[in-house]
Structure 1
Amino acid sequence: MDAEAGWKQAGESGGKGTGSGRKEEGSDPGEVLERRLKEISSELQSSGFWDSSQRIILQSLRKPFMMDEDEDNIPSLEKLNISENFQCVSFGIGNFSSCSVAKTQMAFLLLLLQELQISRDCCFVFDPVFSELELEVLCRLGLKVMAENEEGKHGISGVRTLFFMVHCGKSLYNNLLWSNWAPETLSKMAVLGNSFRGIQDRMPSKIFQKEYSYIAKILPATDETPFPAHPQYMEIFNDTSVHCFPSSKLKELSGEIWKLPEEPVYEENEEGQLEIIRKSQKKGICTDFEANEKKS
C-alpha cells in the first residue's frame, strides 16, 4: 500500500512550536513536519522491518478481533475486516517534532492505521509532553487528541481496541489492564508496547508482583509476539511485542483474580519521581475528542 495514499492534506494555518526537526526557510513548521513523516513512512515501507512487523501485528490481531468471536475460524491474513467497531489508542509517543525515535514511531502508527483500514478519527492520542506544534499537526492529520491525562486508565467500553504504547512506563501498562480488568473486556484489546515478559524478567519477583500486579496476573493468559530485530530500527522498537489476551486462556485463570480489583498505587523512586506524569502536572488540549465512558 502506498505511503502517500490517504494522507490528509495539511491546512493553511500556521502554528507555533518547539521545532520541526528539520527547518526550511519560509515553510510552515507543521507542513515541514508532515512532509518529514511522509518521508519516514516511505522509508519504513521499503524496509524489510515493515513487512515483518506488520505481518506479526496482523497475525496477532486476527484471533482476538474476530467479529464472530470464533477463534478456530481464522480469516484471511490479507482481509481481517476489523475496521468496523474498532479503534486505536496511542499513549506516550513523545515529542515527534524534535525526537527522531518518536517521529519514526508516529510514522509507523500512521502506516498501521492505513494497513488496518482504521479511520484516523477512530485513533485517539495523548502524551502530556505534546507541544503546540505537535497538537496542531495531530489535528491536521485527522487524529483525535484526548481531553485529559488518563494516566493510562482508559476503559475500552466494549469497543475492540489496539493500544499503541511503545516504550511507555510500566505503570501505564498496569493502569491500562486495571481499567479493563474483566475477561470479556481484555479479550477485545491488544497492546503493542514493551514486552510484558521482559518487564517480569528485569525485576525482582517481589517488586513485580506488588507494584505491577495486573501485568503479573495477566501474563499466564497473554499471547506475546515480539517484533523482529532490525539494525536500522533497533533503538526505536527494541523490546517491543504485541500482546493479546485470548478468551480461551482468560477462562483458565482463577475466578478469584477478577474480584474487587484495587486501583494501582505507586511509590516514588529515590529521586522522588514516578514513571508517569500525573494529571496535575500537565494537561492535554481538547480538539473535539469525546472520551469513552470511563470506569467509575
Structure 2
Amino acid sequence: MASASAAAPESWQAAGPRKRRSAARRPRRREAAPRDPEAEFEADSGVVLRRISNAGKDLLISDFWSSALETINECLTKHLEQLKAPVGTLSDTFGKLHLDSSPDESDVAPDSIPGETPGTGTSRWKCVCYGIGNFATCIIARNQLTFLLLLLEKCQIPRSHCWVYDPLFSQLEIEVLNILGVTVLSENEEGKRSIRGEATIFYMLHCGTALYNNLLWSNWSVDALSKMVIIGNSFKGLEERLLARILQKNYPYIAKILKGLEELEFPQTSQYMDMFNDTSVHWFPVQKLQQLSTDAWEFWEEPDYQDCEDLEIIRNKTEDPSATD
C-alpha cells in the first residue's frame, strides 16, 4: 500500500533520450499535503461527511471536473468496445457521464454527499481504490475521495461494488467510508488483487510504484489486463523518471507493459494541481498485448523487492514480518 511519505527519490534520472519531466508532473509527497485549519480538534463522522459534501460542490462546478470526465469518457468508451459491451449499455453508461458534469450550484442539495444517489443502470465495471490517504484531515485526500464518489455515480457503479483500502485509515475514516456505502478491505493486499475475469477500474492516485507492479503481476495475462483500467500515476512518467535498468530490475511488469498500453493524461488546473498531478488513465488494448514477446508473458515470478530501496509501500506484516514501513 502506498506510504504517506512516499515520493520519487531526487537521484532518479530519465531513461534514454527522453526529456525529463518537470517537478510539477511528479506525485506530490503526502506529508506536504495541506491540512484543514479545523483539523486541530477531533472531528466526528458528521463533520467529515459535511466536508466531503462541500468538496463535491466545488468539484462539480470546476473546469477540472468536466475536462477530467472527457478524458475518462474517451478511455472507457474504447474499453467498453473492447469488452464487446451491448450498444445499449455503452450509450446508457456514457450518456450519464456527459449529464450534469457542471451543474449550477443551486442544483446541488445543501447537505448531499457526492454520488449519494446511485445510478439505476447496470455497470460493466467494479472498482478498487488503493492509497486514498487520511481524508478526514487532508484536503488533497478528501478531494481525491470526492472525485471517486462522483466517478462511481457517473459510471453507474454501486458503492457496494467499490473496494477501498489504505493502511493509514483511522477508525473515524473507516466509519465514514462505511456510512458512504463503499466496502472497506480489512487486509493489506499490497495491490496483489486478481480481477477474476471481472472488468475493474483501479483508482490509485499517488501510490508507490511497487503497488502498480504488484497489480500487473496479479493479472499477468492478455485476458485479465484487457479487462482493467488504471487511474493513477502516469506510467510514461515512471519511464521518464527511472533509469531503465532500475525499472526493469525492480518493477519488471511495469517495464514490460509500457508497449502494451494506452495512456491519457488528466487535465491540469491550478485549483486541483496538488490532488491530481501526474495522473493518467491507462487501459490495455488486446492488439498491443498480443504483440508483446512470448518471453514477456512466460516470466511470471512474484515480486519480492529484497534489493529495492525506497519501496514506497507499506508491506503486509502478517506475510512479511521482517518488512519495514
Work out the CA distance in 2 between the residues paired with 1:269 and 1:127: 22
1:277 aligned partner: 314
Pairing partner for 2:286 from 243, 247, 269? 247
Question: Are the equivalent residues in 2 in contact too, given 1:152–1:173 (CA < 8 A)?
Answer: yes
Residue 130 of structure 2 is aligned to residue 91 of structure 1: yes
**The 10-residue stretch of structure 1 (236-245 or 72-81) with the greater mean CA deviation from structure 2:** 72-81
Q: Secondary structure at the match of 1:235?
A: helix
**The 10-residue stretch of structure 1 (130-139 or 85-94) with the greater mean CA deviation from structure 2:** 85-94
Pairing partner for 1:123 from 162, 167, 172? 162
Work out the CA distance in 1 between the residues paired with 2:146 and 2:268: 18
Amino acid at match of 1:227: F
2:14 aligned partner: none
2:142 aligned partner: 103
Pairing partner for 1:78 from 89, 95, 106? 95
2:101 aligned partner: none
Residue 79 of structure 2 is aligned to residue 64 of structure 1: yes
Question: Are the equivalent residues in 2 in contact too, given 1:63–1:71 (CA < 8 A)?
Answer: no
**The 10-residue stretch of structure 1 (190-199 or 63-72) with the greater mean CA deviation from structure 2:** 63-72
Post-superposition offset of 1:56: 0.7
Work out the CA distance in 2 between the residues paired with 1:130 and 1:281: 18
Gaps of 5+ in 1: 1-18, 283-296
Work out the CA distance in 1 between the residues paired with 2:229 and 2:90: 18
Post-superposition offset of 1:74: 11
Amino acid at match of 1:266: Y
Distance 1:143 1:70, change over 3 A: closer
Work out the CA distance in 2 between the residues paired with 1:156 and 1:167: 21
Pairing partner for 2:59 from 28, 44, 49? 44
Q: Secondary structure at the match of 1:217?
A: helix
Work out the CA distance in 1 between the residues paired with 2:295 and 2:134: 41
Post-superposition offset of 1:251: 1.4
Residue 169 of structure 2 is aligned to residue 134 of structure 1: no
Post-superposition offset of 1:281: 7.5
Distance 1:221 1:112, change over 3 A: same
Q: Report 1 or 2 for greater relative contact order, CA contacts < 8 Å, sequence distance ≥ 6.
A: 2
Post-superposition offset of 1:256: 2.4
Distance 1:134 1:79, change over 3 A: closer
Post-superposition offset of 1:220: 0.6
2:227 aligned partner: 188
- Correspondence list, 1:154-169, <5 A: 154-169=193-208
Residue 300 of structure 2 is aligned to residue 261 of structure 1: yes
Q: Secondary structure at the match of 1:225?
A: strand
- TM normalised by structure 2 equals 0.74
Work out the CA distance in 2 between the residues paired with 1:68 and 1:172: 25
Work out the CA distance in 2 between the residues paired with 1:74 and 1:197: 31
Question: Are the equivalent residues in 1 in contact too, given 2:126–2:201 (CA < 8 A)?
Answer: yes
Amino acid at match of 1:39: N
How many residues end up aligned between the 2 structures? 261
Amino acid at match of 2:294: G
Gaps of 5+ in 2: 1-34, 98-119, 320-325
Amino acid at match of 1:275: E
**The 10-residue stretch of structure 1 (220-229 or 84-93) with the greater mean CA deviation from structure 2:** 84-93
Share of identical aligned residues, percent?
47
- TM normalised by structure 1 equals 0.81
Query: Per-residue CA shift, 1:255-283, capped at 9, x if unaligned?
Result: 2211140111214666xx5311111179x
Amino acid at match of 1:233: Y
Question: Are the equivalent residues in 1 in contact too, given 2:39–2:137 (CA < 8 A)?
Answer: no
Post-superposition offset of 1:57: 0.7
Amino acid at match of 2:317: S
